[in-house]
Structure 1
Amino acid sequence: MSDNTEIKVEGLTHRYDAREGPLLALKDIAFSVPRGRFVGLVGPSGCGKSSLLMMLAGLVVPSEGRITVAGQPVTAPAPDRIGVVFQESSLLPWRTALENVVFPLKLRGLPKAEREGRAAALLDLVGLRGFESRYPHELSGGMKQRVAIARGFCQDPPVLLMDEPFAALDEQTRMTLGDELLRIWDAHRKTVVFVTHGLTEAVYLCDEVIVLSGRPGQILERIEIDLPRPRTWEVMASEAFGQLRERIWSLIRVQQ
């Protein structure tokens, strides 16, 4: 494995047990992701994007194939190596924003001062200074997702997996959080795999977009997003941006 390769997926196939028999969800998936790269996963509904992400996280064991992160096989959750941010913020309602971010570090047994200092710095980074003592019911949807992102970063994993983290938010909030995510990513340069249905979001955020076919999910194409960073509204309004979005849509459209 190349020293620069963070994620490697080889020959991944997965079947689910269904009432009518085994259901082939993913077939012969193979790709690698270099360290520090921001990669999107897109495809039609039901193509296995989230299932693939759960396998990368070690939450689902594939029927066939092998996944490695930093050269180590992924066979179970490993939050010190792989962070996950879900579509729902999944915050503990009886804990404050700071306590929610601290929680994974507490489970690891880090000293209180260290874990609270790290959590407070991350909440500041996601724009929530002054909200550390607020409970989830006191936060907006966008603010709760900011807490979830801070929690994903708090253990400092080299890989961050994100499963449609902005899907439940309005467009304005999605764009704002997208910009915040890029700012944080630029500061930390984690390797990110980002599942989304939003093609504009995929082109705006990613270095590369992997397009999956309809079930069983297979890789149709890997599209390089060769647009300048930092991404700006001018970049989004460019002809090149529109052409990339249309290219991805043309692949997905025939799968519908």
Structure 2
Amino acid sequence: MSLDLAAPRRAEAMTSQPSEIEVSGITHRYQTGRGEVLALRNINLSIAPGRFVGLVGPSGCGKSSLLMMMAGLVKPSEGNITVRGSPINGPAPDRIGVVFQEASLLPWRTAQENVAFPLKLRGVKRAEREAKAEELLHLVGLKGFEKRHPHELSGGMKQRVAIARGFCQDPPVLLMDEPFAALDEQTRMTLGDELLRIWEQHRKTVVFVTHGLTEAVYLCDEVIVLSGRPGEVLARIEIDLPRPRTWEMMATEHFGRLREQIWSLIRRQS
């Protein structure tokens, strides 16, 4: 494969595109038995529609907390977050889907029922929600597994169900908190490709928290690097690899330079 690529560069704010997600002045503190901890300090981000954005940084830097604030599941101490111009003050499943590190499936429900469960809570008619869940399970490669219960599925299959559930209400934004962390490397790579295939079809705005730098470079359009606690934005690295991505890209010099650029920023924080 021949890649004609420019040198790595830091991404500038995307002033020419409207924001899908706007993070303004986010600072977060929490109390422990030893006193107050400043977890995040003055985070400002603007994320354009349809971008696949990675969020990386040292352990404990607050990246998962920031993601949960975007999801409306944690209230920041200061600042505000908007999605499509509307403030996020609590869960907003019509605008934001969330996929967690653990699949968190209801064990007594089938794969189809787990995917359809958010629609059931909204009062969507059974036939409609079952049809939607079946469509999404086929999309994530689980045709024929609709009636299986979680204990009958592998770890990778459970995460596929969780991803399908994240898409079930067709939100414009999908937040993913280390969704492949508990999986073996082969399964992670396979699911990464599956996720990119789905993303190419739907072009939702994705914010993806990961500790895997290879994973971040392979999947993302841009990687946001946070500092050690208190988490602050160190850099926004544009991943100028062509799409569709292929595994062969991982062996290229340019891929290695991008990964090293991100790692060097994180390494200095330890």
TM-score by length of 1: 0.98
Structure 1, residues 165-207: CA drift from partner, whole Å, max 9, x if none?
0000000000000000000000000000000000000000000
Where does structure 1 lack aligned partners over 5 or more consecutive residues?
A: none
Residue number in structure 2 paired with 1:80: 94
Q: Secondary structure at the match of 2:142?
A: coil
Give the Cα–Cα distance (whole angstroms) in 1 for the partners of residues 80 and 131 of structure 2: 37
Of the candidates 140, 143, 147, which is equivalent to residue 133 of structure 1? 147
Q: Secondary structure at the match of 2:20?
A: strand
Residue number in structure 1 paired with 2:3: none
Residue number in structure 2 paired with 1:185: 199
Where does structure 2 lack aligned partners over 5 or more consecutive residues?
A: 1-14
Of the candidates 240, 243, 255, which is equivalent to residue 257 of structure 2? 243
**Corresponding pairs, count:** 256
Alignment of 1:216-235 (within 5 A): 216-235=230-249
Off by >6 Å, runs of 4+ in structure 1? none
Residue number in structure 1 paired with 2:82: 68
Q: Which amino acid aligns with 2:191?
A: L
Alignment of 1:93-132 (within 5 A): 93-132=107-146
Give the Cα–Cα distance (whole angstroms) in 1 for the partners of residues 78 and 147 of structure 2: 45
Give the Cα–Cα distance (whole angstroms) in 1 for the partners of residues 161 and 247 of structure 2: 26
1:202 aligns with 2:216: yes
Give the Cα–Cα distance (whole angstroms) in 1 for the partners of residues 186 and 134 of structure 2: 26
Give the Cα–Cα distance (whole angstroms) in 2 for the partners of residues 20 and 166 of structure 1: 33
Of the candidates 20, 33, 39, which is equivalent to residue 25 of structure 1? 39
1:253 aligns with 2:264: no
Q: Which amino acid aligns with 2:171?
A: P
Q: Which amino acid aligns with 1:232?
A: T
Aligned residues of 1:40 and 1:206 also touching (Cα < 8 A):
yes
1:149 aligns with 2:163: yes
> How large is the RMSD of aligned CA atoms in angstroms?
1.0
Give the Cα–Cα distance (whole angstroms) in 1 for the partners of residues 29 and 78 of structure 2: 9
Q: Which amino acid aligns with 1:52?
A: L
Q: Secondary structure at the match of 1:5?
A: coil
1:166 aligns with 2:180: yes
Residue number in structure 1 paired with 2:4: none
Q: Secondary structure at the match of 1:104?
A: helix
Q: Which amino acid aligns with 2:97?
A: G
Range moving further from structure 2, 104-113 or 5-14: 104-113
TM-score by length of 2: 0.93
Q: Secondary structure at the match of 2:141?
A: coil
Instruction: State the shift of 1:3 in Å.
Output: 6.9
Instruction: State the shift of 1:254 in Å.
Output: 1.1
Q: Which amino acid aligns with 1:9?
A: V
Identical amino acids, percent of aligned pairs: 79
Instruction: State the shift of 1:2 in Å.
Output: 7.7
1:16 aligns with 2:30: yes
Instruction: State the shift of 1:234 in Å.
Output: 2.2
Aligned residues of 1:228 and 1:235 also touching (Cα < 8 A):
no
